Amino acid sequence: MNNNELVAKLWKLCDNLRDGGVSYQNYVNELASLLFLKMCEQTGQDEDLLPEGYRWKDLTSKIGIEQHSFYKTLLNKLDGDHHAIVQAIFLNATTTITQPAQLTELITNMDKLDWYDNDGTGKARDDFGDMYEGLLQKNANETKSGAGQYFTPRPLISAIVELMKPQPREIIQDPAAGTAGFLIEADKYIKAHSNNLEDLPDDIQKFQMERAFIGLELVPETRRLALMNCLLHDIEGDSEHGAIRLGNTLGADGESVPKANVVLSNPPFGSASSTNITRKFVHPTGNKQLCFMQHIVETLEPGGRAAVVIPDNVLFEGGKGTDIRRDLMNKCNLHTILRLPTGIFYAAGVKTNVLFFQKGTPDNPQQDTNCTQETWVYDMRTNMQTFGKRRMLTDAHFDGFIAAYGEDANGQSPREEGVYQQMGEIDGLSTDEGDDTARWRKFSRDYIREQKGDSLDIAWLKDLEASNSENLPEPDILAGEAMAELTEAMSELYQLMQALGADDEAEAQKQLLEQAFGLEEKTVEQSKEQNKGQGELFGGQA
């Protein structure tokens, strides 16, 4: 049975559990444990990774209440396992299945599945990794909470990795790892270009498994999903942390991670509390995305490259935002901006972009002033259809941008302005070819400085959706866009009042808003329960 069929069948097994009150998110957590045990049996790694008496065969040898009780004991045993990565995966692992009959049915049905490929060979570790990725994506597609909050669309991740071309022996970092989607895709890319690492010397193969990939994740339950994802894809990381470290990128943990040659990331969106920003940045701000941008510039080695998914406000926010963008363009060559279409993330109205940049310049990686001379912008948003569950984003939607970007990972391939057709654009667009209809254009640093005031919110195409009622998005999308803009405006006003010294007034207004929306401060235990298993709004990848 191929992997897609297995994913569909594994997901189908969730139906009965949902009838018993187990959510999609909890179901994925249950499968994280069970799939790991099954993988160890299937690949013959039981003796290497699991203590005797606490393996898949021991679990399947029992049924009903005895099995349910043993399963809870097994989870507790693996929480204290001697193998650091196994211990991290099963740290505080529990089961939300309260009915023993349901657990027995799930395990029995899993055991009955055909775990062999059509040629009769068993599944490899990467096969289990691909299945797990499929389950995470299923969860993201089915719900607007849980995994959907931090699951970056796979076609976007694939396009970014293809353009950034990660290489063997490079340290690749994601400071907002989510479910480790960027790191997994980077590993796949390297393996695809090195005969599954077989073409590399033994020492570099070891480096790829243990040191090449570093993720940082704030939420313990999300880190567990990410560690599982990495281990299933044969990425073990170091013996102390695994590939995904538990910690706060905007605190001391972010300062202690090794420098990176490549950063691929989708930091948390939204205007959540900034109380976890405990690190001193050159440009202090309560905007988390802007703090992540500063971390990424700091963590890159000279000559290192980055691709970062950010919301629109990072492009135009004034004050410290302007200072941070100037600093970025000074220290790095910001060569490309991709304006992403709406609807690809799991909140209506969120508008996002990808910034591609290199620390220093191609000629002088140590350069730290005037590194950006020109920036190319690809508009994949204006006059595009709105994506969502009914209209899915695919790999093919990025073909035009990938061709325009060119082969050089640092954006130094020969480029020409243009691109007049884009897959997914709305009907009725002009067929004329000129600057005002091209999706791919170049802007000088002088233009950005003098005409835009160092704002990177650069748009030039006439928006037909705004002038043609037939092309307007669905009402929930429009309402979401309005709510997103209002939220961002309120956040900026709050920060402005603080900057002007009106802290008490700012806090009073904030409390009034919280009361109006029923967001009064919860107890610590209530907050922990609410956040369990969830990443920050749209942060991290998977």
Is the domain of 16 the same as that of 131?
yes
Residues 6+ apart with CB under 8 A from 1: 9, 113, 114, 115, 116, 117, 118
pLDDT band, residue 349 (cuts 50/70/90):
low
- Kindly give the pairing relationship between strand 244-246 and strand 213-217: parallel
- 226 within some domain: yes
In DSSP terms, 268 is beta-bridged to: none
- Residues 468-481 have a mean pLDDT of 59
pLDDT band, residue 282 (cuts 50/70/90):
very high
Q: What is the pLDDT of residues 427-452, one digit of tens each?
A: 877 777 888 899 999 999 999 999 99
Is the domain of 54 the same as that of 189?
no
Q: Which of 116, 140, 164 is the last residue of a domain?
A: 140
Rg of the chain over Cα atoms, rounded to whole angstroms, equals 24
Q: Which of 423, 450, 471 is the last residue of a domain?
A: 471
Total length of the chain: 542
- 374 within some domain: yes
* Residue closest to 110 by CA, chosen among 169, 67, 66, 81: 67
Rounded Cα gap, residues 241 and 214, in angstroms? 9
- 489 within some domain: no
CATH of the domain at 122: 1.20.1260.30
Rounded Cα gap, residues 293 and 247, in angstroms? 17
Rounded Cα gap, residues 7 and 204, in angstroms? 33
- 479 within some domain: no
Is 450 exposed, middle or buried, given 0-12, 13-18 or 19+ CB atoms closer than 10 A? Answer: exposed
Is the domain of 192 the same as that of 117?
no
CATH of the domain at 394: 3.40.50.150
Q: What is the pLDDT of residues 506-539, one digit of tens each?
A: 777 777 777 676 655 444 344 444 443 333 333 4
- Residues 184-207 have a mean pLDDT of 95
Distance between the two ends of the chain, CA-based, in angstroms? 25
Of 30-44, 129-143, 249-263, least confident by mean pLDDT is 129-143
Decide if pLDDT at 143 tops 70. no
Is the domain of 135 the same as that of 165?
no
Structural domain for 291, as ranges: 150-471
Is the domain of 276 the same as that of 423?
yes
Q: Which of 113, 140, 167 is the last residue of a domain?
A: 140
How many domains, in total, are found in the chain?
A: 2
The pLDDT of residue 532 is 39
Is the domain of 418 the same as that of 292?
yes
- 291 within some domain: yes
Is the domain of 128 the same as that of 207?
no
250 or 136, which is more confident? 250
- 502 within some domain: no
Q: What are 61's two structure tokens?
A: 């040898």
The pLDDT of residue 539 is 42
Is the domain of 58 the same as that of 178?
no
Is the domain of 157 the same as that of 13?
no
- 486 within some domain: no
Decide if pLDDT at 257 tops 60. yes
- 126 within some domain: yes
Decide if pLDDT at 484 tops 50. yes
Is the domain of 71 the same as that of 165?
no
Is the domain of 106 the same as that of 244?
no
The pLDDT of residue 528 is 42
The pLDDT of residue 185 is 95
- Average pLDDT, whole number, for the chain? 83
Contact 478, 485 (CB under 8 A): no
Residues 6+ apart with CB under 8 A from 484: 347, 348, 349, 350, 351
The pLDDT of residue 537 is 35
Residues 6+ apart with CB under 8 A from 105: 16
- Residues 227-256 have a mean pLDDT of 88
- State the DSSP code for 398: G
Is the domain of 370 the same as that of 317?
yes
Contact 349, 483 (CB under 8 A): yes
Rounded Cα gap, residues 458 and 440, in angstroms? 11
The pLDDT of residue 144 is 47
Of 1-10, 311-320, 489-498, least confident by mean pLDDT is 489-498
- State the DSSP code for 192: H
The fraction of the chain above a pLDDT of 90, given in percent, is 48
